[in-house]
Structure 1
Amino acid sequence: MSLPSILLIGMAMSTDAFAAALGKGAAMQRPRLPDALRAGLTFGVIEGLTPLLGWLAGVAAARYIKAWDHWIAFGVLALLGLHMVWHGIRPDEADIPPRHRGFWGMALLALGTSIDAMAVGVSLAFLEVNIALVALVIGLCTLVMVTTGILLGRVLGAVTGKRAELLGGLVMIGIGAAILYEHLGGAA
């Protein structure tokens, strides 16, 4: 997998965390840089670990489904992308996270936004990819996006977060289609 694809995955995986951070930043009273960095670090570590867990599960199952791996990768990425697009376009104010206080509330919110990264890890187990690099990029992108999202939250609010999630979903669908095209083109 190329570095631009890895960066796109990192950015796409961090958009839902960015949307949550915008909502959290909007709910906070004048978020400060140390608060934003603490939230970014919490989200980044959790978002970086979950693709590793997914990858381990995928590696365990890989030998059983090797002939279909590119279809599985495409299906998982396309479904995640469609889910992100759906959340990006539906007008549901219940998606705006409630005000969380403390580490555990932040960690639960981070875990909730990182389930898709675990599924991406599963799909990456079927491809030639350096999972440590992918996990690091996802974690770093999330750190930056959440820190920025917290600080921008008061100004931009949840509307921008919805658009970021929509864009991230479209990127995931595009990456899934590119994987499928590459494997089908290579097989011909």
Structure 2
Amino acid sequence: MNAVSVVLLALAMSTDAFAAAIGKGAVLQRPRWREALRIGLIFGCIEAVTPVIGWAIGAAAASYITAFDHWIAFGLLGVLGARMIHAGLRDDGLVERPVRHGFWAIAATGFATSIDAMAVGASLAFLEVPILPVALTVGATTLLMVTLGIMLGRLVGAMIGRRAEVIGGIVLIGIGAFILYEHLSGAA
């Protein structure tokens, strides 16, 4: 696997996280670069670890992972998205947008958008690709894409205000539905 292939794989694997980060950034009350970088680090670490786990599991479990990874991603993103929509539609009077997201909320979203990376890691074991350079590239790319996505979400959030949480929830559900559609239609 050459360097260009690794970078393209990293970009492809980080697109779901980028879209989710835009939604997360839109919900926050004017996120700063430090918060964007914190979220990017969480997503990047998770995105770097999951292909290593998949690679370690290897060929024996690859068929089991790919058989249901899309359902796990769909379920997690659906629940997280529904919670965001519910929170966005709830009329609590003068509810302020959060300054930062909690670690577990970010980690759950990061995991949900990186489950397919585990199956990719398992398939890379078949090809006898050294996983560490790939995992580091995927993690670094995700870190960058999520950090930029949070800051882009900041602009979107400023434009649409309170509806940002509803839109962010819809985006997460849409990502989950797209992952499910890709796998069920054979496009993945």
TM-score bracket relative to the smaller structure? 0.5 to 0.7
**Which residue in 2 is equivalent to 1:151?**
151
**Which residue in 2 is equivalent to 1:33?**
33
Task: Check conservation: 1:59, 1:126, Cα contact below 8 A.
Answer: yes
Q: TM-score, with normalisation over the residues of structure 1?
A: 0.65
Task: Check conservation: 2:25, 2:149, Cα contact below 8 A.
Answer: yes
**Which residue in 2 is equivalent to 1:117?**
117
Structure 2, gaps ≥5 residues long: 71-77, 85-97, 158-166, 183-188
**Which residue in 2 is equivalent to 1:137?**
137
Q: CA RMSD in A?
A: 3.9
Q: Where does 1:4-83 land on structure 2 (aligned, <5 Å)?
A: 4-60=4-60
Change (3 A) 1:105 1:125: same
**How much has 1:146 moved relative to structure 2?**
0.4
- How far apart in 2 are the matches of 1:28 and 1:53? 31
- How far apart in 2 are the matches of 1:110 and 1:34? 18
Partner-residue secondary structure (3-state), 2:126? coil
**Which residue in 1 is equivalent to 2:91?**
none
- How far apart in 2 are the matches of 1:21 and 1:120? 22
- How far apart in 2 are the matches of 1:52 and 1:20? 22
Task: Check conservation: 1:26, 1:154, Cα contact below 8 A.
Answer: yes
Q: 1:151-185 CA deviation, whole Å, 9 max, x = no partner?
A: 011324779x79xx7xxx9xx9xxxxxxxxxxxxx
The runs of at least 4 aligned residues of structure 1 exceeding 2 Å deviation read: 59-62, 94-101, 154-159
Task: Check conservation: 1:24, 1:97, Cα contact below 8 A.
Answer: no
Structure 1, gaps ≥5 residues long: 63-71, 81-91, 173-188
Aligned residue pair count: 153
Q: 1:64-96 CA deviation, whole Å, 9 max, x = no partner?
A: xxxxxxxx8xxx6xx98xxxxxxxxxxx9x858
Change (3 A) 1:133 1:154: same
Q: 1:121-172 CA deviation, whole Å, 9 max, x = no partner?
A: 011111131100000000000000000000011324779x79xx7xxx9xx9
Q: TM-score, with normalisation over the residues of structure 2?
A: 0.65
The sequence identity of aligned pairs, in percent, is 54
- How far apart in 2 are the matches of 1:97 and 1:14? 23
- How far apart in 2 are the matches of 1:60 and 1:53? 13
- How far apart in 2 are the matches of 1:18 and 1:7? 15
**Which residue in 1 is equivalent to 2:89?**
none
- How far apart in 1 are the matches of 2:16 and 2:57? 23
- How far apart in 1 are the matches of 2:50 and 2:12? 15
**How much has 1:61 moved relative to structure 2?**
5.9
Change (3 A) 1:150 1:58: same
**How much has 1:101 moved relative to structure 2?**
3.0
Change (3 A) 1:44 1:96: farther
- How far apart in 1 are the matches of 2:25 and 2:37? 12
Partner-residue secondary structure (3-state), 1:104? helix
